[in-house]
Amino acid sequence: MKEYTKGNLTVVWEPGACIHAAICVKMLPNVYQPGKKPWINLDNAEQQQLIDQINACPSGALSYNVKGENTNLKTNIKMEKPNVAGTSPVIIGLEEGKNYAWCSCGKSTNQPWCDGSHKGSGMSPVVFKAEESKKRAMCLCKHSASKPYCDGSHSKL
């Protein structure tokens, strides 16, 4: 984990959770510059811009704390069950060595992938690295015992 601070805002980056969706770079290219060291420069954006961007991070690799405020999103009301995003799997070609973040809450508009819609739900994506380039049946019902892959659980819903 790496921390970056500007005033009363601390941004936390967990490299192992990052799926390199590059939403941070697209939203705030003057803040997130992968070719530079340090690659995060908080001085190039206002606090609310940074918070809005971090809330859009699909993997949760970026988080923040504001000194004196409770900003821990995990304290919000938790979902008991995921939303069913579909009643059959979707076949996806995975690329060996690539990181993916599978939506576990069923709220993403980019199924089967996480788009950050889980924030505040108590759920988080299943982040994994494809071990080989192969087509796989990805679960959309969100009830598989083999998450993120389909195990036929949708037939029991």
Mean pLDDT of all residues in 117-145: 89
Locate the domains of the chain by residue range. 2-71, 76-152
pLDDT, one tens digit per residue, over 5-39 is 999 999 999 888 888 888 899 999 999 999 899 99
pLDDT score for 76 = 40
What whole-number distance in Å separates Cα of residue 135 and Cα of residue 143?
Answer: 20
CATH class of this structure's domain 2-71: alpha beta
Burial of 12 (C-beta count, 10 Å sphere; 0-12/13-18/19+): middle
What whole-number distance in Å separates Cα of residue 115 and Cα of residue 57?
Answer: 7
